[in-house]
């Protein structure tokens, strides 16, 4: 899994190199017209936002007259499992965001204890879309009105047989969310609240719906402080449904530091706790994500 992350990171860095060349050429379409850090980072399911929570901000740095594109690689080594996410996203005219992410969930030694086999993997593809409905988190500083966006994430898991065996209803499903984000530039504070309608078990890695429930409304939040124009420190919290009788699902949280080296490259490091997963105890560990784009 570490080798896969390094390979994915190499691809992201090649995108960064292309981004630098693109910006050097002065191409007008990729105008990078927004302020540093206002594109957020790549959320674990591919959307622009924090590590765990999508924000109302549109990914990339394209203004209302431009386009932003990025790629990311994220590695999350936990107590007994690990997660690798690779993906790309495009922001169109600061209005529409389209994203794709591929997740690989490695059960490691826990796979043998669960009867799946050591190193058994779950793979999931996520296609996302987000549209800004109203408000501008950056430029409407004289208003308390946040930027608000609506989004969806369609998720497809490759382990339908396992999912049904543990009580899951489906191997694919769609999350719907509404996010509100406000940036207080004078106070250097960013706040975000997201409400999600979902039936995903462990973000969809263990399927959708189950013998204990289906769709439910979950809440998510992020808070960040801009230590400098290029460094953001913050925390996130995300509630999750509890649809499988065999294993209770806990809420997740993280404490993060996002470093925006420039508008082409950002690095996010965090401590993340995803709660109990599949009766293997609390799963906590590092969160490392590299993003590059233009």
| Mean pLDDT value across residues 191-211 | 97
pLDDT band at 4 (very low <50, low <70, confident <90, very high): low
pLDDT(16) > 50: no
Tens-digit pLDDT profile for residues 222-281: 999 999 999 999 999 999 999 999 889 999 999 999 999 999 999 999 999 999 999 999
Residue ranges with strand state E in the chain: 41-42, 48-49, 67-77, 82-92, 96-106, 121-134, 147-157, 168-170, 172-184, 189-198, 208-210, 216-226, 231-238, 252-260, 265-276, 282-293
Lowest mean pLDDT among 22-26, 64-68, 216-220: 22-26
pLDDT attached to residue 102: 98
For the chain, the average pLDDT equals: 91
| Alpha carbons 268 and 72: distance in angstroms, whole number | 11
| Alpha carbons 9 and 205: distance in angstroms, whole number | 22
Contacts of residue 19, Cβ cutoff 8 Å, sequence gap at least 6: 264, 292, 293, 294
| Alpha carbons 160 and 163: distance in angstroms, whole number | 5
pLDDT attached to residue 139: 86
Single pTM value for the model: 0.90
pLDDT attached to residue 1: 63
| Domain region containing 289 | 2-293
pLDDT attached to residue 32: 81
Structure tokens at 107: 């059960």
Burial of residue 115, with CB atoms counted within 10 A of its CB: 0-12 exposed, 13-18 middle, 19 or more buried: exposed
Contacts of residue 11, Cβ cutoff 8 Å, sequence gap at least 6: 71, 73, 86
CATH number of the domain enclosing 196: 2.40.160.40
In the chain, which ranges are continuous DSSP H helix?
2-24, 110-113, 160-165
Tens-digit pLDDT profile for residues 80-121: 999 999 999 999 999 999 999 999 999 999 999 999 999 999
Lowest mean pLDDT among 17-31, 36-50, 192-206: 17-31
- % of the chain beyond a pLDDT of 70: 91
pLDDT(133) > 70: yes
Question: Domains in the chain: how many in total?
Answer: 1
């Amino acid at each position: 899994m570490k080798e896969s992350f390094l390979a994915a990171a190499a691809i992201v860095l090649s995108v960064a190199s292309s981004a630098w060349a693109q910006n050097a050429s002065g191409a007008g379409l990729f105008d990078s017209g927004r302020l540093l850090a206002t594109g957020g980072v790549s959320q674990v399911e591919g959307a622009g936002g924090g590590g765990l929570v999508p924000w109302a901000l549109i990914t990339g740095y394209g203004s209302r007259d431009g386009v932003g594109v990025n790629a990311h690689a994220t590695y999350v080594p936990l107590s007994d499992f690990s997660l690798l996410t690779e993906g790309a996203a495009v922001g169109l005219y600061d209005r529409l965001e389209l994203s794709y992410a591929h997740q690989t969930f490695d059960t490691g030694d826990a796979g043998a204890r669960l009867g799946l086999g050591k190193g058994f993997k779950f793979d999931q593809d996520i296609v996302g879309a987000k549209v800004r409905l109203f408000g501008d988190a950056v430029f409407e500083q004289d208003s308390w009105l946040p930027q608000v966006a609506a989004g969806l994430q369609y998720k497809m898991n490759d382990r339908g047989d396992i999912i049904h065996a543990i009580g899951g209803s489906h191997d694919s499903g769609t999350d719907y969310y509404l996010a509100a984000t406000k940036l207080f530039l004078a106070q250097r504070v960013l706040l975000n609240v997201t409400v999600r309608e979902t039936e995903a078990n462990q973000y969809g890695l263990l399927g959708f719906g189950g013998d204990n429930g289906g769709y439910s409304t979950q809440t998510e939040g992020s808070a960040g402080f801009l230590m400098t124009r290029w460094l953001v420190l913050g925390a996130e919290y995300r509630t999750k449904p509890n649809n499988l009788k065999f294993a209770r699902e806990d809420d997740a949280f993280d404490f993060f530091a996002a470093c925006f080296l420039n508008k082409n490259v950002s690095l996010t490091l965090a401590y993340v706790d995803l709660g109990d997963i599949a009766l293997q105890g609390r799963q906590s560990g590092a969160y490392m994500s590299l993003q590059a784009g233009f």
